[in-house]
Structure 1
Amino acid sequence: MTTSLQHYPCYIDGQWVDASNGATFTVENPATEEVWATIPDCTVEDADRALKSAQKAQLDWQALPAIERGRHLLAIVEGLKARREEFVRLLVLEQGKTTPEAQGEFDDTLNYLTYSAEAARRIEGNIYPSDNPNEQIWIQKVPYGVTLGLCAYNFPLALIGRKVGPALVTGNTMVLKPHEATPVTASLFCQVAHEAGLPPGVLNLVSGTGITLSSHLVSSPMTRLVSLTGSTRAGQAIYKASSENVSGLVLELGGKASFVVLEDADLEKAADAAVISRFANCGQVCICNELVLVQESIADKFEAMVLERVKKIRYGQPDSEVDMGPSVTGASIERVNGLVQESIKKGAQVATGAKRPEGSEFEKGHWYEPTVLTQVTADMPVATDEIFGPVLPIIRVKDYEEALAITNDREDGLSSYIFTKDIKKIMHAVHHMQVGTVFVNQPISGYIQGYHSGHKRSGVGGEDGVYGIENYLQKRAVYFNYE
């Protein structure tokens, strides 16, 4: 896929703007490394303009009935629907998703926004009896004010819907800052919001490279809540930077999901799920299967079943009939290969992959073959570090207890999988796996009415469902004496 160089501006106070100093940066196609777009490289002065715009607009936006705020979101949904094919093509070009994956992300975005709009009549408070006569205690739910949405590169459109929907329906305004590898989708989203009649200042967009812009946005006293989807390291930095203002936080950070397969599992189902849950979006999903822990009594059979499926994965240009496209950035592939090669030196065996694919199609772009490593031990880099790429390490374990120990012996805790027919082990895992999400006998999934959160160093707060909406609201107690 090729296209001519295009410029996509930022969006502040209802106006399309470039960086105040005229600086720009480029965006490339991860499948070909072709530069196809330029984006403003905004300054801290631009960030302040966006925050001030959001601050100015927030009180009037909060004053609107929630149902009216919801109608604005539904208008954005209709605008997105009218440009479905444009967004799908953009996701393939910008992020490297296959067309079916891009279509799925687009549909998820509609669901996030629609669910938030429908929540407008479900923002609840509480009334409690007072200890005094003629008095009630009310617990009101109120917005934070100006919120900041920091998006990762793996789902550049869906993460916007996941943050903008709950923030806006609850009466907050938002400044968006997309990842520098995938900022174009955000610009086009703001164009749709603008055409749908969203009031100026309610949603603003700034883009940029480096940490200066993001750090300024996070540490500004105008920012009352920060919502980040990103790495644990980024979350830790934001946690510290926001501490002076004691800002609210919704941090969805990294993890390393274990995929536990016990000897009584449905192995066909588990093998299918293991492959789908690892190589979806080229392994660039925070809740992906990062580490198979298979009971040694069935390990030979299960490894063969996984390998058979992985070798059938079609990978190539994402706008063609393939199952997997490239990684988003070259740096991510270098990191993935480094983890693989270090693990091989420590004794891991390559069952398939572990290199850049050959052929003219792969001379440019951020490619890595679907990879399976066996004879992995828990101290190898592919077992200790989040891979976030198309590499599946397999560790053999003696029993469920060993698998649970490896799962919990981590500082992060985002998600985990378990395949077994033993209801006692399932219930034990539900109660004792130190993660935010447990998948039981099923592959990677996630629904808007659920909840997506991490435990330990995998984050605070969370998104999706009623609890996700709640995270964009503060509680205000009112002691009301009506005598």
Structure 2
Amino acid sequence: MRASASYIDGQWLEPDAGTTFEVRNPADTTDLVATCRQADADDADRAVAAAAAVTDDWAGMSGADRGAILRRTSQELGARKDELTDLLSREEGKTLAEAEGEVQRAVDIFAYYAEKALDVGGTVKSAGGPDATLSTRREPLGVAGLITPWNYPIAIPAWKIAPALAAGNTVVFKPALQAPLVGGAIVECLDDAGVPDGVVNYVLGSGSEVGDAIVTHEDVDAISFTGSAAVGTQVYEAATADQKRAQCEMGGKNPTIVTDSADIETAVDIVGSGAFGVTGQACTACSRAIVTTDQYDEFLDGIVEYAEGLRIGDGRAGADMGPHVSESELEGTLRYVDVGRTEGATLATGGGVPDDEAHADGHFVEPTVFADVDPGMRIAQEEVFGPVLSVIEVDDFDEAIAVANDVEYGLSASVLTNDLDQAHRFVDEIEAGVAKVNEKTTGLALHVPFGGYKRSSTDTYREQGDAALDFYTSTKTVYLNY
């Protein structure tokens, strides 16, 4: 597989040169997916130099021609959909259904920005006098450094790479090392689609070395990062120290409010899917169910039954919920289970590691529900990034909104209600970048902006849709007198 080595200036590096690292199946760690060549800071410097050398050529290409390359990339990804679905599940742990949906998202994103490449233009305004025009034009920034996480290893790279290229920027892309290969397949498809040498560069290295080299490089003009709040804050400070344009999308502590008017069966399905889908390893996952007193007991019984009914196992073998991506992620979730117990929450179900032979070689944890959770507890305040749901009882809708907002994060939030007044109040009052009514906190449309408030985001620019093109371009205002 070409993606097991970095791609710089149109060339794939030799996979057996230098330091290597292994990618293993988190559902069965005896399964070696690939041995990859690990890049270093020198490789990052060469990648940036290659990207910087062709910025004018790529920016000077017509939007139609750039779009044609993105369209062919979408077609290449689509032709490899089954292969990439299996690879994503094998290296990251998602179920096949989850992996297939994510691969299709990447296909669709490249198709979308293939057309949007034609729209990167400007506006015409009324001039202040006769014999004059007044207009704006959008121009690419230059070199975009893109740093992506392991939890959506093809969708997130797609929604950074595609708009950056559509807008006329060149790219240096660093994926997370836990699951890099399916993101690298995007670069393979771009290569096969005829992207010119140097326009896209893929560097397989650590965040501390390669990531830092990209973020601080003087020839990088923009940084787009997705990951934890702690790392994102460091990235933003380093990137903006020399006035790079930067956007960082980070963590979440996402609530779903279950009101008195909500149908409990529907609420259980929506919260369960949002909490335990993709093993809770999503920045938009539902980690707090905030339930009014009249609904609390019935909802708790239902969500416990939902969690206990999920089949845990290899996502490629029909499981409902796969493993954590790594042992360290599993250990992090188990630490929060211990924290919840210590704080006095009631462990209603789960919280353990399956101890049978079928799960012995994977990073599995049971879907976990805590009851009697106080809003101030750590499990109700801190991002767990695993299948752990805190169920919080509140007296009424007003208290539910207050509890939902009383965290450092503000990424995604939802309310389940049949009361139109509550629905509108929720949209008005919730402190989150994504507000959903009668829908789970996870799941995003590709053509609308995405981003968070508070510690979930730097709140500078949004991703996806036209908002992504705003980030990757600068506006020039043109006064023309004749």
- State whether TM-score is above 0.5: yes
For 1:108 and 1:297, locate their aligned partners in 2 and report how far apart those are by CA, in whole Å.
39
> Does residue 320 of structure 2 align to residue 294 of structure 1?
no
Question: Residue in 2 aligned with 1:259?
Answer: 256
> Does residue 91 of structure 2 align to residue 94 of structure 1?
yes
Question: Residue in 1 aligned with 2:475?
Answer: 475
For 2:62 and 2:2, locate their aligned partners in 1 and report how far apart those are by CA, in whole Å.
39
Aligned-pair CA distance for 1:412: 1.9
Q: Which amino acid aligns with 1:32?
A: D
Question: Residue in 1 aligned with 2:336?
Answer: 339
Question: Residue in 2 aligned with 1:458?
Answer: 456
Q: Which amino acid aligns with 1:424?
A: D
Aligned-pair CA distance for 1:29: 1.2
For 2:62 and 2:394, locate their aligned partners in 1 and report how far apart those are by CA, in whole Å.
56
Question: Residue in 1 aligned with 2:280?
Answer: 283
For 1:123 and 1:41, locate their aligned partners in 2 and report how far apart those are by CA, in whole Å.
36
For 1:210 and 1:74, locate their aligned partners in 2 and report how far apart those are by CA, in whole Å.
31
> Does residue 410 of structure 2 align to residue 413 of structure 1?
yes
Question: Residue in 1 aligned with 2:431?
Answer: 434
Aligned-pair CA distance for 1:79: 1.3
TM-score (norm 1): 0.96
Q: Secondary structure at the match of 2:54?
A: helix
Question: Relative to structure 2, which stretch is displaced further, 285-294 or 398-407?
Answer: 398-407
Counterparts of 1:132-147 in structure 2, within 5 Å, are 132-147=129-144
> Does residue 305 of structure 2 align to residue 308 of structure 1?
yes
Q: Deviations over 1:85-142 (max 9, x none)?
A: 2211110111011111111111010111111111122224122234344333221111
For 1:6 and 1:166, locate their aligned partners in 2 and report how far apart those are by CA, in whole Å.
24
Counterparts of 1:63-102 in structure 2, within 5 Å, are 63-102=60-99
User: Any unmatched runs of 5+ in structure 2?
Assistant: none
Counterparts of 1:154-303 in structure 2, within 5 Å, are 154-303=151-300
Cα-Cα RMSD? 1.7
For 1:224 and 1:349, locate their aligned partners in 2 and report how far apart those are by CA, in whole Å.
49
CA contact (8 A) 1:116 1:469 kept: no
CA contact (8 A) 2:296 2:393 kept: yes
TM-score (norm 2): 0.96
CA contact (8 A) 1:31 1:326 kept: yes
Aligned-pair CA distance for 1:479: 1.9
Q: Deviations over 1:382-406 (max 9, x none)?
A: 1111111111110101111212112
CA contact (8 A) 2:17 2:37 kept: no
For 2:267 and 2:119, locate their aligned partners in 1 and report how far apart those are by CA, in whole Å.
38
CA contact (8 A) 1:326 1:366 kept: yes
- Percent pairwise identity: 33
CA contact (8 A) 2:8 2:201 kept: yes
For 1:264 and 1:406, locate their aligned partners in 2 and report how far apart those are by CA, in whole Å.
19
Q: Secondary structure at the match of 2:213?
A: helix
Q: Secondary structure at the match of 2:28?
A: coil
Q: Deviations over 1:304-323 (max 9, x none)?
A: 11112111111111111111
For 1:411 and 1:389, locate their aligned partners in 2 and report how far apart those are by CA, in whole Å.
18
Aligned-pair CA distance for 1:254: 0.8
For 1:111 and 1:414, locate their aligned partners in 2 and report how far apart those are by CA, in whole Å.
23
> Does residue 43 of structure 2 align to residue 38 of structure 1?
no
**Number of residues of Structure 1 aligned to a counterpart in Structure 2:** 478
CA contact (8 A) 2:275 2:286 kept: yes
> Does residue 375 of structure 2 align to residue 354 of structure 1?
no
Aligned-pair CA distance for 1:411: 2.3
CA contact (8 A) 2:158 2:186 kept: no
Match of 2:22 among 19, 26, 31: 26
Aligned-pair CA distance for 1:413: 0.8
Using a 3 Å threshold, how does the CA distance of structure 1 residues 328 and 285 change in structure 2: closer, same or farther? same
Question: Relative to structure 2, which stretch is displaced further, 16-25 or 422-431?
Answer: 16-25
Question: Relative to structure 2, which stretch is displaced further, 34-43 or 232-241?
Answer: 34-43
Aligned-pair CA distance for 1:18: 4.4
Question: Relative to structure 2, which stretch is displaced further, 57-66 or 458-467?
Answer: 458-467
For 2:214 and 2:118, locate their aligned partners in 1 and report how far apart those are by CA, in whole Å.
31
Q: Deviations over 1:303-345 (max 9, x none)?
A: 1111121111111111111111001111111111111111111
For 1:445 and 1:89, locate their aligned partners in 2 and report how far apart those are by CA, in whole Å.
21
CA contact (8 A) 2:413 2:432 kept: yes
User: Any unmatched runs of 5+ in structure 1?
Assistant: none
Q: Which amino acid aligns with 1:236?
A: T
For 1:195 and 1:257, locate their aligned partners in 2 and report how far apart those are by CA, in whole Å.
39
Q: Secondary structure at the match of 1:217?
A: helix
For 1:396 and 1:94, locate their aligned partners in 2 and report how far apart those are by CA, in whole Å.
38
Question: Residue in 2 aligned with 1:365?
Answer: 362
Q: Deviations over 1:337-392 (max 9, x none)?
A: 11111111111111111110120011122110011111111122211111111111
Using a 3 Å threshold, how does the CA distance of structure 1 residues 20 and 222 change in structure 2: closer, same or farther? farther
For 2:3 and 2:108, locate their aligned partners in 1 and report how far apart those are by CA, in whole Å.
29
Match of 2:11 among 15, 20, 30: 15
For 2:179 and 2:163, locate their aligned partners in 1 and report how far apart those are by CA, in whole Å.
22
Aligned-pair CA distance for 1:21: 7.3
CA contact (8 A) 1:7 1:37 kept: no
CA contact (8 A) 1:20 1:45 kept: no
CA contact (8 A) 1:6 1:36 kept: no
Q: Which amino acid aligns with 1:285?
A: A
Q: Secondary structure at the match of 2:297?
A: helix
Q: Which amino acid aligns with 2:29?
A: E
For 2:16 and 2:34, locate their aligned partners in 1 and report how far apart those are by CA, in whole Å.
19
Q: Deviations over 1:409-463 (max 9, x none)?
A: 2222101010111211211111111110011011232111222111122113221
Using a 3 Å threshold, how does the CA distance of structure 1 residues 287 and 14 change in structure 2: closer, same or farther? same
For 2:430 and 2:34, locate their aligned partners in 1 and report how far apart those are by CA, in whole Å.
44
For 2:414 and 2:124, locate their aligned partners in 1 and report how far apart those are by CA, in whole Å.
40
Q: Which amino acid aligns with 1:323?
A: D
Counterparts of 1:386-397 in structure 2, within 5 Å, are 386-397=383-394
CA contact (8 A) 2:3 2:184 kept: no
Aligned-pair CA distance for 1:43: 1.5
Q: Which amino acid aligns with 2:40?
A: T
Question: Relative to structure 2, which stretch is displaced further, 240-249 or 171-180?
Answer: 240-249
CA contact (8 A) 1:30 1:365 kept: yes
Aligned-pair CA distance for 1:7: 8.1
> Does residue 149 of structure 2 align to residue 148 of structure 1?
no
For 1:471 and 1:119, locate their aligned partners in 2 and report how far apart those are by CA, in whole Å.
14
